[in-house]
Amino acid sequence: MIPQDPMILLSYLNTKLRDEYKSLDLLCDDLQLDKSDIIQKMSSIDYAYDDALNRFV
Band of the pLDDT at 8, cuts 50, 70, 90? very high
Closest-CA residue to 6 (of 27, 34, 51, 37): 37
Amino acid, res. 55:
R
Name the β-bridge partners of 38.
Answer: none
Q: What is the mean pLDDT of the segment spanning 9-25?
A: 98
Helices 24-31 & 6-19 angle (0-180, nearest 10): 110
- What's the pLDDT score for residue 1? 87
The rounded distance, in Å, linking the Cα atoms of 50 and 52 is 6
pLDDT in tens, 18-56: 999 999 999 999 999 999 999 999 999 999 999 999 999
Name the β-bridge partners of 56.
Answer: 49
Amino acid, res. 36:
S
Q: What are phi and psi of 56, to 5 degrees?
A: -85, 130
